[in-house]
Amino acid sequence: MLSHINIVLVGTTHPGNIGAVARAMKNMQMTNLRLVAPKIFPSADATSRASGADDILARAMVCDTLREAIADCQVVFGASARSRTISWPELTPRECVAEILTRHADEKIALVFGREHSGLTNEELDMCRYLLHIPCNPAFSSLNLAAAVQVICYELFVAAGSDQRKATGDRGECPLATAEQMESFYDHLHQTLIDIDFTQTDKSQSIMRRLRRIYNRIELDTKEVDILRGILRMSQGHKKSQKP
C-alpha cells in the first residue's frame, strides 16, 4: 500500500542525511526517494549512513526543481515547522496518514521535506496542498531530517499494516490533476488575471496564494482543470478583442 508514496528531499546540504533518510525509509518498507538539487550526491557518506539501504539511494530520482520532482504526483504534503501568514490546511503525521490511506490510496503522493536549517520556502510550500507539522517539545522543536522522515514513515507503516481498506471516495471517471497540471493551471490563471487587468504583476503574489488555497480545497480532477483553462483562454481572448 506504500508504493504510491514518494519521499522528496529539497536542497539537502549534508549527504549523510540523505543516507539516514534512506535507512529510515527502508526500515518502514518505503522505497521511493526523490532528491531536489542536493548539494552533494552521490556520496560515500550517504552510502555509509544508509547502512544497507543502498538500493534506495541507487534508485533515487534527482531533479533540479521541486516542480519537476512532484510533477506526476496528485497530492502533495509539505513538512513545515512554522505557521503561514495565510491559513493553510495543516495536519499532524497521524492525520496525514489517515488522509492518504482513506482518501488518496489510489493516487500518487509526495511528502516533501526541506533544507536542514531553513526548511521549505514560501514558494515551495505554495506547491503543497497540505502542511505537515510534527508536534514536539516547544522548548526544543528542532527535529533532524531523518528523524522527521522516520516519524511519518512509521505512522504510514503501522497504519498500512493494520488497515488494508481502499479509498472510500468516489473519484468518478477522471483522476485527480497532477502537481504539474495544477502548476500549469496556476501559471495560466496568474497570467489571465494580469491580462484582464484584475491585478498587477507586482501585487499578485498574495492573491495567488489565496486562490491556491481555494483550488486546493476543491481537489480538481483532470477534466475540471481542462474546463477552467478553457474559461481562462476565453477570458483572455475576450479582453484582447475589446482593445482598439
pLDDT tens-place string over residues 36-71: 999 999 999 999 999 999 999 999 999 999 999 999
pLDDT tens track for 173-202: 789 999 999 999 999 999 999 999 898 777
| pLDDT value at residue 244 | 60
Average confidence (pLDDT) over 107-133: 94
Mean pLDDT, the chain, as a whole number? 90
| Residue 171 confidence (pLDDT) above 70 | no
- Per-residue pLDDT band for 235 (boundaries 50, 70, 90) equals very high
Three-class DSSP labels, the chain: CCCCEEEEEECCCCHHHHHHHHHHHHHCCCCEEEEECCCCCCCHHHHHHHCCCHHHHHHCEEECCHHHHCCCCCEEEEECCCCCCCCCCEECHHHHHHHHHHHCCCCCEEEEECECCCECCHHHHCCCCEEECCCCCCCCCCCCHHHHHHHHHHHHHHHHHHCCCCCCCCCCCCCECCHHHHHHHHHHHHHHHHHCCCCCHHHCHHHHHHHHHHHHHHCCEHHHHHHHHHHHHHHHHHHHHHCC
| Residue 163 confidence (pLDDT) above 70 | no
| pLDDT value at residue 239 | 67
| Residue 170 confidence (pLDDT) above 60 | no
| pLDDT value at residue 141 | 79
